[in-house]
Amino acid sequence: MLQAILDHYNYWIAILLMMIGLYTVVARGNLVKKLVGLNIFQTSVFLLYITMGKVTGGTAPILDDRFTVYSNPLPHVLILTAIVVGVATTALGLALVVRIRESYGTIEEDELDLLDGET
């Protein structure tokens, strides 16, 4: 049982991070903390993909006569794209938080709800 868990430690890490991230998004009222949670959540998926590309005994996928087994580069490339998307999402999210702070004076969700309710 323990061995089964240890053999797949990469998945457990991904699942753990995923749950931490999702919980942070749901449970925290501070908008910046929500974005932090969102980032952790996305990172867990990046890890899931990257560990998928590992081939046992494989080396970095640069062609060379000395090697025959290479790791799969495709997941890395996919995740590079996803990371860029993640950066864009975070930048946009933070920009929104800055503007929310400027027009509401707070970035706490419950206070925002109160302020929205009054108008």
Partner 1 sequence: MRHHRVLRVISKLLIPFIMLFALYVQFHGDFGPGGGFQAGVIMASAFILYGLIFGLENARKVAPPGVITMLVAAGVLIYAGTGYAGLLKGGNFLDYNVLAATPVGGQHLGILIIEFGVGTTVAAAMITIFFLFAGRER
Partner 2 sequence: MAANLIPHLPALQVIIPLVAAPLCLLAGRTGFAWVIAFIASVAATITAAALAYLTYHDGTISYHMGGWAPPWGIEYVVDTANAFILLLVSSIATMVLIYSPASVAKEIRPGRGHLYYCMYILCLTGLLGIAITGDAFNVFVFLEVSSLSSYALIAMGGQRKALTAAFQYLVMGTIGATFFLIGVGLLYMMTGTLNMADLAKRIPEIQDSRPVLAAFAFITVGLALKAALFPLHLWLPNAYAYAPSGVSAFMAATATKVSLYVLLRFTFTIFGAEFAFGNLPLSWVLLVPAVIAMFAGSFSAMFQRDIKRMLAYSSVAQIGYITLAISLGTNAGVMAALVHIFNHGLMKAALFCAMGCIFYRIGSTRIDQMAGLGRQMPWTFAAIVAGGLSLLGVPLTAGFISKWYLVQAAMQSGLWILVVLIAVSSMLALVYVWRLVEALYFKEPNPGRETVAEAPMSMLVPTLLLAGANIYFGIDTRVPVAMAENAANLLMQGLGQ
Interface positions with partner 1 (CB under 8 A): 60, 62, 80, 83-84, 91, 94-95, 98
The reply to whether 15 sits near partner 2 by the rule CB under 8 A is no
Q: How many residues does the chain have?
A: 119
Tokens at 66, concatenated: 């000395």
The reply to whether 42 sits near partner 2 by the rule CB under 8 A is yes
Distance of CA 100 to the CA centre of its chain: 23
To partner 2, the closest distance from the beta carbon of 87 in angstroms equals 11
To partner 1, the closest distance from the beta carbon of 101 in angstroms equals 9
Burial grade of 37 (CB within 10 A; 0-12, 13-18, 19 or more): buried
To partner 1, the closest distance from the beta carbon of 53 in angstroms equals 14
Segment near partner 2 (CB under 8 A), from 2-10, 39-47, 56-64? 39-47
Burial 75-114 (b: 16+ CB within 10 A, else e): bbeebeebeeebeeeeeebeeebeeeeeeeeebeeeebee
Residues found near partner 2 in the complex (CB under 8 A): 22, 25, 31, 34-35, 38, 41-42, 45, 48-49, 52, 75, 78, 81-82, 85, 88-89, 92-93, 96-97, 99-100, 103-104, 112, 116, 119
